[in-house]
Structure 1
């Protein structure tokens, strides 16, 4: 066994969008598991937009990553050494390993994986992103057959889950994605009824016109994980008593872009006038729903009824470039890094 392992730490707080200098790849002595712990050789790592928020020293729903600490994140790997009941060498497990080649974690914080599906699915379609889509749509979107759903970032692991679940429930589904290729994926792979390229529309007004054509009966549910121009475009199209589950705002991570005009008062008025239900939620509050999610969705993934895509980068040294590209929409599907 190697006497060292590699990890990526936070070198400094980013100013705006992250750059490579904000991170450091370093080698450290291999950790040794204490009583109740397990040493894992990581095979796959997840990259998710929430990680950008953890880089800032601000009060939030979870602690910030400290300078010099390993970047946070979920991983999958095999057990090398176990001092925890219920885990044996070779077991395939998942947990919050961080951006590292190896991790030493308490057995109580790990979950064994079903080896019938690719291990990487535990990080995407059957992991936190998939659960986010399932919980958010069912609990806060409250879909009804015949309604219209608009989903931002529709080809990502969350948006694609939301769209497929809504379509199966009898809704008209409209995808918003970046570029012709992703729009084609939205309709051809994930079954959306229509797809709109937000990059083809310079202003929120122009984007709104395109959405209105794709949603002639208005919007009953808007899945919000982007913010920015897309939110500004959709809000005036919401039907009375519409629902907006809010799980992210990637357009505003690292600072608000735009011309400096404060449009929030006008946008917020729509919430009042149309009596909208805008519900922010953090998936970490809903882990108790995970078994029910797996019971319902795992068979559908195994049978191909729910499609998924993964964008796989290779090697720990590609974590940072893949992360920076993901925040700019450079990935297609769930961003995974294989070690």
Structure 2
């Protein structure tokens, strides 16, 4: 079977190997779609945390069951499934408390262990989620949207609450739409005016501002001086991660969804005066995946997936997806 491996930064190779054998408690799966996310882009560029080479990337996956034994979900050959790529141990304190998303021994497909950029893969049965009639592209975007759903749940966002989302990439865009679904009013921030326009046109965000144009004053005007009760960073950019508290109200929450490799610095009097709650939000749980699946009919998948190629054409196209001028929101790789 064919697979694509990132041998080292800036070096993909299309190779061939024997298909895996299904182990007990696992299903053998045919991969149909692989979504490309920031983790993949950063891994290719050599600046992704928790990463070693060589690595088969791919954790936003749409698959079809080729072989499976009797299982609790009554899944069978031919069923379409979404893969939850967070392989948790089930034994550590996080897992025992239902927080499998931050398992102490977590192995994320495509990051800590080889992922889905291959024709066939074997995955634990408990990581498979029925697709419930979704098409392959919809299935592949459930995982990145679930990350946003987890952040919203972690921050306990309420109806009519005003929130700020920094970053109009795929995670930020998904977070914005899901926050609207739970009833929040969203303010979008980014440095890319085309992305800001997309959030207004396709996501329905009423307020979208360039961070270079003093958004604090504009947020204060919208909120009658209160600022946002919850701020989400979906960039992983050090400057954004350190400035997010500026948009937050007194008594508010600042949620770090994006991941930076370096240290972050905060002025303690500033965050102390607001009695700031700083939350990290990592990955997602089954509950978050189900929330996304149940509400995906409200999400503009067709405009969200901006670029799509066959796996044989991925390597020649990947560099262009790193260029902001290419207008990529979500790139999708087809395996057939």
Measured against the shorter chain, the TM-score band is 0.7 to 0.9
1:78 deviates by: 2.3
Query: Kindly tell me: are residues 39 and 145 of structure 1, through their superposed partners in 2, closer, same or farther at Cα, counting changes over 3 Å?
Result: closer
Aligned-pair Cα RMSD in Å: 3.4
1:223 deviates by: 0.8
Residues of 2 paired with 1:300 and 1:83: CA distance? 28
Q: Map of 1:16-35 to 2, 5 A cutoff? A: 19=10, 21=11, 23-35=12-24
- For normalisation by structure 1, the TM-score amounts to 0.72
User: Hey, what does 2:3 align to over in structure 1?
Assistant: 7
Superposed CA deviations along residues 217-274 of structure 1, whole A, max 9, x for unmatched, are 322211112133434554223211111111113xx56x79xxxxxx8243x5432221
Q: Aligned to 2:139, which of 106, 122, 127? A: 122
Unaligned runs of 5+ in 2: 86-114
For the pair 1:245 / 2:255, whether they are aligned, the reply is yes
- For normalisation by structure 2, the TM-score amounts to 0.73
User: Helix, strand or coil: the match of 2:149?
Assistant: helix
User: Hey, what does 2:78 align to over in structure 1?
Assistant: 90
User: Hey, what does 1:220 align to over in structure 2?
Assistant: 229
Query: Is the CA contact (8 Å cut-off) linking 1:47 and 1:323 kept in structure 2?
Result: no
Query: Kindly tell me: are residues 71 and 279 of structure 1, through their superposed partners in 2, closer, same or farther at Cα, counting changes over 3 Å?
Result: same
Residues of 2 paired with 1:298 and 1:83: CA distance? 23
Query: Is the CA contact (8 Å cut-off) linking 1:44 and 1:77 kept in structure 2?
Result: yes
Query: Kindly tell me: are residues 35 and 230 of structure 1, through their superposed partners in 2, closer, same or farther at Cα, counting changes over 3 Å?
Result: closer
Residues of 2 paired with 1:170 and 1:102: CA distance? 40
Query: Kindly tell me: are residues 149 and 325 of structure 1, through their superposed partners in 2, closer, same or farther at Cα, counting changes over 3 Å?
Result: farther
User: Hey, what does 1:174 align to over in structure 2?
Assistant: 187
Q: Aligned to 2:33, which of 44, 55, 79? A: 44
Query: Kindly tell me: are residues 275 and 53 of structure 1, through their superposed partners in 2, closer, same or farther at Cα, counting changes over 3 Å?
Result: farther
Query: Is the CA contact (8 Å cut-off) linking 1:174 and 1:215 kept in structure 2?
Result: no
1:326 deviates by: 5.2
Residues of 2 paired with 1:59 and 1:152: CA distance? 21
Residues of 2 paired with 1:272 and 1:11: CA distance? 45
For the pair 1:282 / 2:270, whether they are aligned, the reply is no
* Equivalenced residues, count: 296
Unaligned runs of 5+ in 1: 257-262
Residues of 2 paired with 1:278 and 1:331: CA distance? 32
1:197 deviates by: 3.2
User: Helix, strand or coil: the match of 1:195?
Assistant: strand
Q: Map of 1:1-339 to 2, 5 A cutoff? A: 5-12=1-8, 14=9, 19=10, 21=11, 23-51=12-40, 60=50, 64-65=51-52, 67-80=53-66, 82-85=67-70, 86-95=74-83, 96=85, 97-115=115-133, 117-124=134-141, 127-140=142-155, 142-154=156-168, 156-198=169-211, 201=212, 206=214, 208=216, 217=225, 218-226=227-235, 227-249=237-259, 252=260, 264-266=265-267, 268-284=268-284, 287-290=285-288, 294=290, 296-302=291-297, 305-308=298-301, 309-320=304-315, 329=324, 332-339=328-335
Residues of 1 paired with 2:49 and 2:239: CA distance? 26
1:187 deviates by: 1.0
Query: Kindly tell me: are residues 241 and 88 of structure 1, through their superposed partners in 2, closer, same or farther at Cα, counting changes over 3 Å?
Result: same
Residues of 1 paired with 2:232 and 2:138: CA distance? 22
Query: Is the CA contact (8 Å cut-off) linking 2:62 and 2:81 kept in structure 1?
Result: yes
1:314 deviates by: 0.7
1:210 deviates by: 5.8
